[in-house]
């Protein structure tokens, strides 16, 4: 039985007794904050306090919360069917979603495999690359080349292409497939290109080209691995190498897709197309879990022409109609508005608003790209101390490691970004200087 009359203290006590939160310890006293409702860009705590959500619920709620058009689309679909298996059946929400994704994605991505989370979308991408070469009898091409400081998900295949030393999954390194890593890109997004900075990647690629199935990367923005922004020229150089030596290119656009960097997809900053691309997070506007892996006609046709003649993956909730309806509504909302100018407004306000943080002792760097603002500290934060400070300030920011960052909802107005930035400044100043 669900008790809806729990006090906030009782709810927190039960949570600590029963619930295991992401990347947390059941022995930790790190606070959690009950949320009872959400509207627009605000989260409402069960004690009545309202906070601006500077995180878009881990980068997904780009249209904010309780959006009437999103709600209506889900309610209409719910009245028809919430779910039906996708094996041997199909339905309009899924077909329409795939049609839109192919239309708006980088050129040459012609087929869509729908899944239920970003990690699974990356598992699918890796399996596609392996099956692609298996179908050609090139079974020796079974390793992946990727950057250090990368993050691609929490399942075992995805973990194998996350940073093996400093990443969140280092304790599993002995149980993961051993892939190949090179230093993270050092050339900043707007920095003049230096060919020597690509030398290590190129030499490593060429030394392993006979066994490489694919290069795996987060285009332009390394997200959870450090919120780093790098030069689009890396993508152009990698695309050329992959084309020359018959290696696939996998783009993880789960965090960057759907406008976050100022382009619909981050690959567009370099005007290249990957062979395989994973999307998720903002795909449904944060309403329901859904992800997708797109691939080229060549990849799909090759897989299906070889042994065993089918792609070997099939999630139970693949193509969930309710989630697909949410995704269709979210994409329609995004594409029918001048989202580019809105992202530019957010970018300009983040640049201006976070600039003051450079003068706080203990701040290493401040950087902004599109609707992403990052304040990198010199040392890792104490979450048990800093998180309540943000809540008290009325701005929901969820730091990790040395990074205090914001990815606000796209519907934020100028005054909202000002409030987010001033909240970050106030908290960091109090946290670092007291």
What's the CATH architecture for 8-66+338-433?
Answer: Alpha-Beta Complex (3.90)
The percent of the chain in helix, strand and coil, each rounded to the nearest 5, is 40, 20, 40
Instruction: Flag whether pLDDT at 3 surpasses 50.
Output: no
Indicate the pLDDT class of residue 4, thresholds 50, 70 and 90. Answer: low
- Active-site annotation, residues: 23, 151, 252, 281
CA angle 254/256/262 to nearest 5° reads 155
Give dist(CA 294, CA 304) in Å, integer.
15
| Cis peptide leading into residue 221 (ω within 30°) | no
Per-residue three-class SS string for 368-407: EECCEEEEEECCCCCHHHHHHHHHHHCEECCCECCEEEEC
Task: Render pLDDT for 37-62 as a digit per residue (tens, 0 to 9).
Answer: 999 999 999 899 999 999 999 999 99
Contact of 125 with 157, CB cutoff 8 Å: no
What is 72-335's CATH number?
3.40.640.10
Candidates 225, 276, 235; CA nearest to 109 is 276
Instruction: Flag whether pLDDT at 418 surpasses 90.
Output: yes
Give dist(CA 277, CA 270) in Å, integer.
15
Which residues make up the CATH 3.90.1150.10 domain(s) of the chain?
Answer: 8-66+338-433
Q: What are the CA-CA distances from residue 326 to residues 290, 323, 393 (Å)?
A: 9, 5, 32
Mean pLDDT over each residue of the chain, to the nearest integer: 95
Mean pLDDT value of segment 124-131: 98
Task: Render pLDDT for 211-259 as a digit per residue (tens, 0 to 9).
Answer: 999 999 999 999 988 899 999 999 999 999 999 999 999 999 999 999 9
C-alpha torsion sign, points 375, 376, 379, 382? positive
Whole-number pLDDT of residue 1 = 38
Mean pLDDT value of segment 102-111: 98
Candidates 141, 144, 156; CA nearest to 182 is 144
Torsion of CA 35, 37, 39, 42, to 10 degrees: -20
Mean pLDDT value of segment 98-121: 97
% of residues, the chain, pLDDT over 70: 99
Whole-number pLDDT of residue 389 = 97
Q: List alpha helices for 155-288, DSSP H.
A: 156-159, 199-208, 233-245
Indicate the pLDDT class of residue 341, thresholds 50, 70 and 90. Answer: very high
Give dist(CA 346, CA 120) in Å, integer.
31
Query: What are the tokens at 92?
Result: 């309009």
Helix/strand/coil for 28: coil
Give dist(CA 363, CA 426) in Å, integer.
13
Task: Render pLDDT for 205-222 as a digit per residue (tens, 0 to 9).
Answer: 999 999 999 999 999 999
């Amino acid at each position: 039985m669900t008790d809806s009359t729990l006090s906030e203290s009782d709810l927190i006590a039960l949570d600590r007794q029963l619930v295991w939160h992401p990347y947390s310890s059941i022995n930790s006293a790190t606070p959690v904050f009950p949320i009872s409702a959400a509207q627009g860009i605000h989260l409402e705590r069960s004690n009545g306090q309202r906070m601006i959500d500077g995180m878009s619920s881990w980068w997904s709620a780009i249209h904010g919360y309780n959006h009437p058009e999103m709600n209506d689309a889900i309610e209409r679909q719910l009245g028809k069917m919430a779910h039906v298996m996708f094996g041997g059946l199909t339905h309009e929400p899924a077909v329409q979603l795939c049609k839109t994704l192919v239309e708006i994605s980088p050129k040459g991505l012609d087929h869509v495999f729908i899944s239920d989370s970003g990690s699974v979308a990356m598992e699918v991408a890796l399996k596609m690359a392996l099956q692609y070469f298996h179908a050609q009898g090139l079974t020796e091409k079974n390793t992946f080349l990727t950057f250090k400081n990368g993050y691609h998900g929490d399942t075992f295949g995805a973990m194998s292409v996350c940073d093996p030393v400093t990443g969140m999954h280092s304790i599993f390194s002995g149980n993961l497939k051993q892939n190949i890593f090179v230093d993270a890109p050092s050339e900043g997004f707007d920095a003049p290109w230096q060919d020597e900075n690509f030398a290590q990647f190129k030499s490593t690629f060429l030394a392993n080209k006979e066994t490489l199935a694919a290069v795996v990367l987060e285009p332009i923005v390394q997200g959870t691995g450090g919120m780093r922004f790098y030069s689009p020229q890396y993508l152009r150089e990698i695309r050329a190498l992959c084309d020359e030596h018959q290696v696939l290119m996998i783009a993880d656009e789960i965090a960057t897709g759907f406008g976050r960097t100022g382009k619909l997809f981050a690959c567009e900053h370099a005007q290249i197309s990957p062979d395989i691309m994973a999307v998720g997070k903002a795909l449904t506007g944060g309403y329901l879990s859904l992800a997708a892996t797109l691939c080229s006609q060549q990849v799909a046709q090759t897989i299906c022409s070889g042994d065993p003649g089918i792609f070997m993956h099939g999630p139970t909730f693949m193509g969930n109609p309710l989630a697909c309806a949410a995704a269709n509504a979210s994409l329609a909302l995004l594409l029918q508005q001048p989202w580019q100018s809105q992202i530019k407004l957010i970018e300009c306000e983040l640049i201006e608003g976070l600039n003051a943080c450079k003068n706080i002792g203990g701040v290493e760097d401040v950087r902004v790209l599109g609707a992403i603002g990052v304040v990198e500290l010199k040392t890792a934060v104490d979450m048990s101390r800093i998180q309540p400070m943000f809540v008290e300030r009325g701005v929901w920011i969820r730091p990790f490691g040395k990074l205090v960052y914001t990815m606000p909802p796209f519907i934020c107005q100028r005054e909202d970004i000002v409030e987010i930035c001033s909240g970050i400044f106030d908290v960091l100043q109090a946290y670092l200087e007291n």
